[in-house]
Structure formats: C-alpha cells, structure tokens
Amino acid sequence: VALSKDLSREKVVDAALAILADHGLAALSMRQLASTLAVQPGALYWHVESKQELLAQLAERILSDPATATPRSDLPPDQHLRLQALAIRTALLAVRDGAEVVSFALALRPLEHSPAAMLHHTLATALPEPDAAWGAQTLAHYILGEVAEEQNHAELARAGIVAGERAAAYSTERFLFGVQVILHGLTDANARPT
C-alpha cells in the first residue's frame, strides 16, 4: 500500500489492515506483509513486537469506529443498546475475519474500546451491578459469536470448501432477534439465578 521505505508503526498497521480487509487473516503473514512494504521480514520487528501485538493493534483500529461514532444518548437505553450492537456488528463485518481478530485480541489483552466495555457503559444506566457487567459480557459474546460464524462461513465459501448458500441465512433480522432476547432477559430482576 505504501511502497516507499521509511517504515513506521503506523505504516505497518495500515498495510496489515489493508491485507486483512482485502485477503483475510489467512493471507496476513509477517512475510507477506514485509513484501507488500518492500522490506525484509526482520525489519517489521523494529516497529512491532510480534504478530500477536500487531493483531491487537488491528483490533483497536476495527473497534475505534463504533467507539467514536457513538449514537446520541438521548434515546432510551434499550434502543441505544440496539444501535450500539448494530454499530459493533457493522464494524466487524467491514473487515474480513474482523470478529476473529477482535476475539483473539480480547483474549490476549484488554482493548481500549472493547465491545463489552462499550455496552456496559450504556447498560449501567439501566441495571444494577453485577447484572450490567455480566449482561454486557453476554451481549458481547453473542455479537462476536454471531459475526464470527457469519465470517467463518464466508471465508470457507470463498475457498470453495462449503457451499455458497443463500445470504439470507445471516440476516440483520436474525442478529437483532438475539439482541432482543438478551436485552429482554436482562431487564427482569428474576434473571439472576437464585
């Protein structure tokens, strides 16, 4: 993407994000990344500690969009949460294997704008603890799981390993059904196990 020399951490992450978006996680190797930047593989390690850390950087980038573009907070909490969930899903879908990269990064270390933290911010205005925190985690799991399945399926279809199938199977409607189920289950005090 940037064919000139003089690497920087930013250029490395930019180029990596471009490879991820265009060709997916399987195509994102340190060696391929180096060749895109017209540089030897070892040069990358001056700017980034490891491939794991690079993936964490990519996850921050992917999540920075829905984190900044937060919808107007004058809405009732449940509507606000639906918009947030949709915004997170859209951001993950915008990059090939986005959900897998974010899931991996979340396991690796806390992220600046984790989905659970974003949702918790809103959920805390409507629920007591620990319901708000646990509910945010449950919602975040659902979002990442749903998108990861959708994208995994898309990757395998692209590789010709599974049938292409109808695109309607993973519709926004279905996604919102799950969000609605979780939100409805949360907004009842009896949800806590006794």
Q: Is 177 in the site for a second copy (CB under 8 A)?
A: yes
CB of 142 to DNA, least distance (A): 30
Q: Is 164 in the site for a second copy (CB under 8 A)?
A: no
DSSP label at residue 75: S
- Site mask for DNA (CB under 7 A), range 147-166, x = bound: --------------------
Q: Residue 58 binds which entry of a second copy, DNA, none, with Cβ cut-offs from 5 to 8 Å by kind?
A: none
Nearer to a second copy (CB atom), residue 101 or residue 183? 183
Q: Is 174 in the site for a second copy (CB under 8 A)?
A: yes
Q: Is 51 in the site for DNA (CB under 7 A)?
A: yes
Q: Which of 10, 23, 41, 94 binds DNA (CB under 7 A)?
A: 41
| Closest C-alpha among 90, 42, 83, 81 to residue 63 | 90
Q: Rounded distance, CA 93 to CA 70, Å?
A: 17
Q: Which of 57, 84, 103, 114 binds a second copy (CB under 8 A)?
A: 103
Residue 7's SS3 state is coil
Q: Is 107 in the site for a second copy (CB under 8 A)?
A: yes
Which residues neighbour 103 within 8 Å (Cβ) at sequence distance 6 or greater? 144, 148
Q: Rounded distance, CA 85 to CA 82, Å?
A: 5
Place of tokens 């391929």: 32
